[in-house]
């Protein structure tokens, strides 16, 4: 076991989680430190720069996520417990196990550890207002109700994390249907919720959320209309859960049976990717969108630098991309 290493800048032993803040008071003179030394804790494993390079490359190939050297503490903090679970007490040993055995189990554990699954219901409320007031009603007009032409509107929440985005969409769909009970039915809509993380997809599939998660974005009225108590947690009612199909899916290796969509949300995912991966996802979404259909990114994201044919539409603060109606 290594002794506890102090912060390279101020010599204090940091007590906060590695990613919460950097310890670098103004009276300390920062100096270059070996990767990981800034966040050292008891039992810490050192991360040499060649080990960082190899792990960062592996993470990029598994997920598309780019981890730059200034975020090496993320690898260190998140992969150290994984390495220990696989019986390794150093990153060198961990890498050797990965090289020798590789395989889905170790790769899945790495994916679970390095993905950031931050999300909440109705995240960026202005976007959901625009979707509820403009986009979904426009899509609903595409349904002819006879089952001969289009009889279903397909929505994709790509990189849905634990599913809050998909359930927010489902609640909006339900509100639209409730407002037009003569003409619309819930089963005329379907939502695909996908993520690369198996754990996140399991949570999405269960539709079960803690009170704290519910408080992040769900109003009292929506809570009463759409959720039921399940012990100390809350669960979305059956009809809303049935609206959503959950699927583990890597956006950089999309399956061939995705089909065509009327609306795709891929929010706060591309922000972690490099330009070639962003372009790949953008092209995948474009290919799977029907002409005249919609694409939404996170509020800090744009299609800048990507080749695409999308038009931009604005509803208040919400920026929505649209595939031209005449395109293929």
Ligand X SMILES: C[S@@+](CC[C@H](N)C(=O)[O-])C[C@H]1O[C@@H](n2cnc3c(N)ncnc32)[C@H](O)[C@@H]1O
Interface residues toward ligand X, by CB under 6 A: 63-65, 115-119, 123, 159-161, 165, 195-197, 200, 250-252, 267-269, 298
In angstroms, give the least distance from the CB of 63 to ligand X.
Answer: 4
Which CB sits closer to ligand X, 195 or 262? 195
Query: Which residue is it, tokens 């399940």?
Result: 230
Would you call 211 exposed, middle or buried from its count of C-beta atoms within 10 A (0-12, 13-18, 19+)?
A: exposed
Q: How far is the C-alpha of 137 from the C-alpha of 146, rounded, in Å?
A: 18
In angstroms, give the least distance from the CB of 268 to ligand X.
Answer: 4
Nearest to 195 by CA among 164, 163, 170, 167: 163
User: In this structure, what token pair is assigned to residue 286?
Assistant: 């474009």
Which CB sits closer to ligand X, 72 or 119? 119
Task: Check: CB of residue 9 under 8 Å from CB of residue 38.
Answer: yes
In angstroms, give the least distance from the CB of 159 to ligand X.
Answer: 3
In angstroms, give the least distance from the CB of 160 to ligand X.
Answer: 6
Which CB sits closer to ligand X, 51 or 195? 195
Q: At 284, which helix (H) or strand (E)?
A: helix 275-288
In angstroms, give the least distance from the CB of 189 to ligand X.
Answer: 19
Which CB sits closer to ligand X, 177 or 258? 258
CA distances from 327 to 20, 81, 150, 292, 308 (A): 46, 49, 18, 8, 11
Which CB sits closer to ligand X, 269 or 289? 269
> Strand, coil or helix: what is 266?
strand
Which CB sits closer to ligand X, 37 or 203? 203
In angstroms, give the least distance from the CB of 223 to ligand X.
Answer: 19
| Summary count for the chain: helices (H), strands (E) | 12, 10
């Amino acid at each position: 076991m290594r002794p506890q290493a102090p912060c390279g800048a101020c010599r204090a032993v940091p007590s906060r989680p590695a990613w919460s803040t950097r310890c670098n008071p103004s009276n300390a003179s920062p100096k270059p430190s070996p990767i990981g030394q800034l966040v050292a804790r008891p039992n810490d494993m050192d991360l040499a720069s060649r080990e960082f390079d190899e792990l960062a490359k592996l993470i990029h190939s598994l997920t598309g996520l780019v981890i730059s050297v200034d975020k090496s503490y993320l690898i260190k903090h998140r992969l150290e417990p994984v390495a220990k679970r696989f019986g390794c007490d150093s990153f060198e040993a961990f890498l050797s196990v990965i090289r020798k055995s590789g395989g889905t189990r170790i790769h899945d554990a790495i994916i679970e550890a390095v993905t950031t699954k931050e999300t909440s219901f109705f995240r960026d409320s202005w976007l959901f207002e625009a979707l509820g007031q403009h986009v979904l009603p426009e899509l609903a007009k595409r349904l002819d109700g006879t089952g001969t032409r289009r009889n279903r509107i397909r929505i994709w929440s790509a990189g849905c994390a634990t599913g809050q985005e998909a359930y927010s969409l489902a609640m909006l769909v339900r509100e639209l249907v409730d407002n037009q009970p003569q003409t619309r039915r819930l089963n005329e809509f379907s939502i695909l919720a996908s993520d690369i993380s198996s754990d996140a997809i399991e949570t999405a599939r269960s539709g079960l959320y803690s009170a704290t998660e519910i408080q992040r974005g769900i109003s009292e009225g929506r809570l009463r209309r759409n959720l039921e108590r399940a012990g100390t947690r809350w669960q979305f009612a059956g009809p809303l859960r049935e609206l959503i199909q959950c699927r583990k899916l890597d956006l950089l290796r999309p399956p061939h049976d995705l089909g065509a969509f009327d609306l795709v949300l891929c929010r706060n995912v591309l922000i972690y990717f490099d330009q070639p991966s962003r372009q790949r996802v953008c092209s995948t979404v474009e290919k799977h969108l029907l002409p005249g259909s919609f694409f939404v990114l996170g509020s800090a994201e744009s299609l800048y630098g990507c080749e695409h044919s999308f038009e931009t539409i604005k509803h208040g603060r919400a920026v929505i991309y649209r595939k031209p109606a005449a395109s293929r």
